[in-house]
Amino acid sequence: MTLDDFTRVALSLPEAVEGAHMGRTDFRVGNRIFASLHSDKDAGMVILKPEEQAMLVEAEPAMFSPVPGGWGKSGSTLVHMAAIDEPTLRDALIRAWRHRAPPSAIAAL
């Protein structure tokens, strides 16, 4: 998978829009960031609950790893594009999106 695939899947979610902050492309729903691109690492990033992050990292360590530092401890999770398949990517993006989406967007999914 590629960063373009990450973008395509992220923007396929209801009410998702592309934005930017801190020099990175991000994806928002209800003006809240749920994912971003880390082109320097050929990775995306999703914002998960820490317990979701732990489950994904344990199940698929080649696909997922915590972002280094405090952000990673809070659930920010790198998605390694070279290792992931589309169904797993979509699942991770939906998990992140659901934590930020307003009820109207969740109903549309």
Question: Average pLDDT of 82-96?
Answer: 98
Checking if the pLDDT of 107 tops 90, the result is no
Average pLDDT, the chain: 96
Bridging pattern class, strands 24-29 and 17-21: antiparallel
50, amino acid identity: P
Checking if the pLDDT of 82 tops 90, the result is yes
What lies within 8 Å, CB to CB, of 21 at 6+ separation is 33, 36
Query: What CATH code is assigned to 3-108?
Result: 3.90.1150.30
Token pair of 80 as six digits:
């390694």
pLDDT single digits (tens) 9-56: 999 999 999 999 989 999 999 999 999 999 999 999 999 999 999 999
Name the residue ranges covered by the structural domains of the chain: 3-108
pLDDT band at 108 (very low <50, low <70, confident <90, very high): confident
